[in-house]
Amino acid sequence: MLTVLVTGASGFLGRAVAARIVAAGHEVYTFQRRASGVPGVIDRLGSVEDPAAVARAIDGIDAVVHLAAKVSLAGEAADFEAVNVGGTRTLLAAAADAGACRFVYVSSPSVAHAGASIVGQDALPADPDRARGDYARTKARAELIALAADSPRLRVVAVRPHLVWGPGDTQLVARIVDRARSGRLPLLGHGAALIDSTYVDNAASAIAAALEHADGVHGRAYVVTNGEPRPVAELLAGICAAAGVPAPAWRVPAALARGAGSLIEAAWQVRPGADEPPMTRFLAEQLSTAHWFDQRRTRADLDWVPEVTLDEGFRRLAASYR
């Protein structure tokens, strides 16, 4: 049994990860700004930007699973840097000082996305110079910092779940449903680009598997998906059908959406809106280029396979809306 600290456990994926690690029989503490609500864990509240709070949280910990991050399409670059890069540095230093032996850094495939399609590839190297947007750039830098800290004493693994969704998701699913309900969800191009996604239970089990197998796979990065690429139009339609809202029925040329995204980003920097911008260049590229990944190394090294198919995930999502 390990004593594990899970950061960001008040978030959608973080809650699922903490619950999965509890179910595996480990003693789990969580660290974030508010209570996690996960049964069987002990919450230690604070910010990854506070070295003293991090040191207190990590006292007596054997392993860290780091999910806490600033995730947004907009915001001040300094805030992304402070949380995603600075917070990761602080956690790594505290983990080493506390004698922790394992560190799972939860990253994103966007760290290796430079605007072009990704077709059947494994985890490409994180590239902060070419990644799109402050979130992706800072996550890429943080992943490189985490993997550079790998050693025989502190075994570090990076896991990149792609497009995580499921019941209770207030990010991807909620925004798709809200925009579809109000008629503001277009297809970019023909909606035919193949995109991988990951049902939340599968993402959580893969991260837990990385924790269990860290001694044998440390120093590496793994992309995690359901391994069931679908056309983006089909993926959006499945989520919309589960929520009982109309699927997108109008189209915008992909090149036009990318140009509009760049203009909206620039305007948002001058006068930010109350919510996320309706489009960014990064989002337009994500919705109009293929993103599907070779999962053979991930499944073999982590001794892991997805438990929930996409179709079963859609059924579970529909049940949650009913």
Active-site entry in 29, 135, 199, 222: 135
Rounded to whole angstroms, the Cα distance separating 17 from 220 reads: 20
Q: What is the dihedral of CA 179, 182, 183, 187, to 10 degrees?
A: 10
29 is catalytic: no
Give catalytic residue positions. Answer: 135
